[in-house]
Structure 1
Amino acid sequence: MKKKIVVISGANLFGGGTLSILKDCLHYANENLCNEYEVYALIHNAKDFVGYANIKFLEFREVRKSYFNRLYYEYWYYKRLSTELQPYLWLSMNDMSSNVYAERRAVYCHNPTPFKKLVLSDIWNQTQVFFFTLFYKFLYRINIRKNNYVIVQQNWLRIAFSKMFKLDLQKIIVSPPKVISKIELSEANKVGRITKTFFFPTYPRPFKNIAVIGEAVKILNAEGFNDFSVLITVDGSENQYAATIVKNYDHLAQMKFLGLISREEVFNLYQDVDYLIFPSTLETWGLPITEFKLFNKPILLSDLEYAHETLGDYHAAAFFDPENPKSLVYLMSEILKGKYEFESHKSIPIKGPLANNWKELFTILLE
């Protein structure tokens, strides 16, 4: 009997948490779906995907060269491909609801940009972000109601999608990401190190709010706090936002700009540092929060709805106002003085449909 076909489309994903989630999805599919289904993965570069022997990869190098290419593939080329493959399930992992033929269709929505509250000053201060927010609202809207399911990572997003796009809440699955890691950690080297180290792994985008850390470090320096380090995974070469951040804060001795690093290197730094700082003002999840919890170390994070939902049950948390550097300064200064006592945090109940892992998610999608 011929196997049904599952297509997992992710050719637009190239880095950060979205690529990690795609790889985790493919890891599950490779290990658990391929006996019953023929699984195809649409990806940008095959060299980024090693160890998925049971999956058939289709490489699309042209997709990310321009938004015109992205629209062409999602709304024209993939339609032709779907007529050839005749998939049972087409799962788009990159926000856009592909124009395809399939018995079942689903879209995984990573990007929270459409739900950013725009103000008039954004036109001048964050021109690209302003128009990108409007553009992404348009992209999300195309074909979204043709999906059997829309997948989001948090309950606040489920409610936001339902309101913005008039979707039935029962057609929106909340699927919190889980960390699947076969990474072998190197032995941490903390011998003789007294300096407190804070870490923010990120890809540079304005809503990542790196500036609040830089401003906090400035104030801490002025108050006489110098014996600490903040590691950030940008170096200024990534984009204009990163260049501006490095230009504004590279003179601060405590700010260490590492550049983009591999996931393995990120996990090794999780093991070595003392604290995670997560100042982002907008997230669908905030994967480093989940990853860092594996190491049972304190986390400083934005006092926003997404952060509370992502953190869930945890024993050592501190929240700060992401728009106010002095709020972060207070936490860091108390930590550096050895006076701060981190608090425990409780998870927020979520109603179904809920998928707590890839098995539960694919059970819903394929039923």
Structure 2
Amino acid sequence: MFKIVISGVNLTDSGKLSVLQDCLNALIKIKEHTELDITVLVHNASLVDEYKDHIKILAFPDIKSSWIKRVKFEYFYSKKLSLQLKPDLWFGLHDMTANVVCPYQVVYCHNSAAFYDVDYKNFFTDIKFTLFNLFYKYLYRINIKRNRYVIIQQIWLRKIFEDLYDVKTIVAYPIREIFATTSGPESIAKLDLHFNVPTFFYPSFPRVYKNYEVLFDAVKILNKKGVQCQVVVTLDGSENNYAKKIADTYRHIPNIKFIGLQDRQSINELYKQSHCLVFPSKLESWGLPISEFKEFNKPMLIARLPYADETVGNYNEVSYFPINDASKLAVLMEQFINGTIQYDGNSALQPADPFFNNWDSLMTFLTDRKNY
């Protein structure tokens, strides 16, 4: 029996929660033919209620209320917990390396905030992100050499981690199959969207580096020219100060649809109904909407940055634009609408081993003792 603890107490929403869900889905498949004892540590048991017949769930609802409590949990309480649970592997899914006692330890690092050049005019707009940017590089360093493997998502992050921390890394792509969870159109009926016009979709939690401004400025250019389209974004202004600033600035534009955060089923249905993905983000450890949207074989307009090439992989119907060039993006959007766009296309990069291109293969590797 291989005993594994999955620590995900800080994963509660958006793409972060999908990391926990995809990890558990892979483990449950492995459990069908391998003896596994799985314990998951979460913020709230309801987040993983669908897995309760297959795993043990321990909830810690107070951890996210302050950074002091998070630090106490990772560096003090987790040691006590590891002595009680006696796992073979402690797998931390949220960047910080816990102080635990067990034979094997692995950490999954997917917060790239520390490696972003902050625009300090927005220092107080998203203070949480700014603090991450200032301090996460040092939080990563604490206990990092305790890990047998450090899991990162792309080649550019592998180089940073190996240079800064001198650790052994695994590149693991967070790719998942999504068709099975696609819901019917009733999941988005309440959103008052109209797919009879060309619809561009940008699903992302609002952070200062998500670069909504370049997309919205491109819409303004198209509107001045009388080009009809609909742009759907998953914020409504209530999420944080940055979201409020963006919504207050652009809400008067009628064909920008501020629909707020959505569950995974609704996001999948919006992928299905939308005509083109726009992804202008300035920073990603992966860029999950890109790989998800690819499964629908639809066109994408993506910011030209290193993360994008690796996430897009082999794909023909993709074109790139400079991250701050609203005029270029507007040109691409108009060309898509009128059917004259000439796609750039993209070819996959191949990371050096150890490398896994999905959760199933990663977790198969991590639950096999011979790999330690």
In 1, the alpha carbon distance for the partners of 2:158 and 2:236 equals: 35
In 2, the alpha carbon distance for the partners of 1:11 and 1:124 equals: 26
Task: Name the residue aligned to 2:250.
Answer: 249
In 1, the alpha carbon distance for the partners of 2:130 and 2:45 equals: 33
Using the TM superposition, name which of 180-189 and 210-219 deviates more: 180-189
1:338 CA drift (Å): 2.5
Provide the secondary structure at the position in 2 that maps to 1:348.
coil
Q: Which amino acid aligns with 2:245?
A: T
Question: Is contact 1:91-1:105 (8 Å) kept?
Answer: yes
Structure 2's unaligned 5+ residue stretches are: none
Provide the secondary structure at the position in 1 that maps to 2:356.
coil
Task: Name the residue aligned to 1:12.
Answer: 10
In 1, the alpha carbon distance for the partners of 2:241 and 2:195 equals: 34
Question: Is contact 2:27-2:360 (8 Å) kept?
Answer: no
Provide the secondary structure at the position in 2 that maps to 1:150.
strand
2:217 counterpart of 1:212: no
Q: Which amino acid aligns with 1:44?
A: H
Task: Name the residue aligned to 2:64.
Answer: 64
Identity %: 40
- 1:137-163: per-residue Cα shift (whole Å, max 9, x none)? 121111111110000111111011112
Task: Name the residue aligned to 2:173.
Answer: 176
Q: 1:283 to 1:75 in 2, by over 3 A?
A: same
Q: 1:120 to 1:362 in 2, by over 3 A?
A: same
In 2, the alpha carbon distance for the partners of 1:59 and 1:257 equals: 33
In 2, the alpha carbon distance for the partners of 1:19 and 1:213 equals: 26
Task: Name the residue aligned to 1:224.
Answer: 226
Using the TM superposition, name which of 178-187 and 317-326 deviates more: 178-187
Task: Name the residue aligned to 2:357.
Answer: 356
Q: Which amino acid aligns with 2:170?
A: I
Task: Name the residue aligned to 1:321.
Answer: 322
Using the TM superposition, name which of 322-331 and 240-249 deviates more: 322-331
1:125 CA drift (Å): 6.9
Structure 1's unaligned 5+ residue stretches are: none
Provide the secondary structure at the position in 2 that maps to 1:237.
coil
Task: Name the residue aligned to 1:201.
Answer: 203
- 1:336-361: per-residue Cα shift (whole Å, max 9, x none)? 23321324321012111101233432
2:103 counterpart of 1:103: yes
Q: Which amino acid aligns with 2:101?
A: Y
Q: 1:4 to 1:275 in 2, by over 3 A?
A: same
RMSD: 1.9
1:237 CA drift (Å): 0.7
In 1, the alpha carbon distance for the partners of 2:123 and 2:247 equals: 23
In 1, the alpha carbon distance for the partners of 2:361 and 2:337 equals: 43
Question: Is contact 2:152-2:170 (8 Å) kept?
Answer: yes
Q: 1:71 to 1:318 in 2, by over 3 A?
A: same
Taking the TM superposition and a 5 Å limit, the aligned residue runs for 1:249-268 are 249-268=250-269
- 1:220-274: per-residue Cα shift (whole Å, max 9, x none)? 222332x110000100111111101100110011100001111000000110010
In 1, the alpha carbon distance for the partners of 2:162 and 2:152 equals: 11
In 1, the alpha carbon distance for the partners of 2:40 and 2:128 equals: 31
In 2, the alpha carbon distance for the partners of 1:205 and 1:123 equals: 12
Question: Is contact 1:320-1:328 (8 Å) kept?
Answer: yes
Question: Is contact 2:122-2:208 (8 Å) kept?
Answer: no
Q: Which amino acid aligns with 1:210?
A: Y
In 1, the alpha carbon distance for the partners of 2:134 and 2:165 equals: 14
1:128 CA drift (Å): 4.9
Using the TM superposition, name which of 353-362 and 74-83 deviates more: 353-362
- 1:283-312: per-residue Cα shift (whole Å, max 9, x none)? 000001011011000011110000110000
Taking the TM superposition and a 5 Å limit, the aligned residue runs for 1:149-168 are 149-167=149-167
- 1:182-203: per-residue Cα shift (whole Å, max 9, x none)? 31432699xx954100001111
2:115 counterpart of 1:115: yes
In 2, the alpha carbon distance for the partners of 1:193 and 1:110 equals: 34
1:47 CA drift (Å): 1.2
Q: 1:222 to 1:354 in 2, by over 3 A?
A: same
Q: Which amino acid aligns with 1:209?
A: N
Task: Name the residue aligned to 2:23.
Answer: 25
Q: What is the TM-score with the length of structure 1 in the denominator?
A: 0.93
In 1, the alpha carbon distance for the partners of 2:122 and 2:256 equals: 27
Task: Name the residue aligned to 2:348.
Answer: 347
Q: 1:120 to 1:248 in 2, by over 3 A?
A: closer
Question: Is contact 2:126-2:241 (8 Å) kept?
Answer: no
Q: What is the TM-score with the length of structure 2 in the denominator?
A: 0.92
Question: Is contact 1:33-1:39 (8 Å) kept?
Answer: no
Question: Is contact 1:42-1:59 (8 Å) kept?
Answer: yes
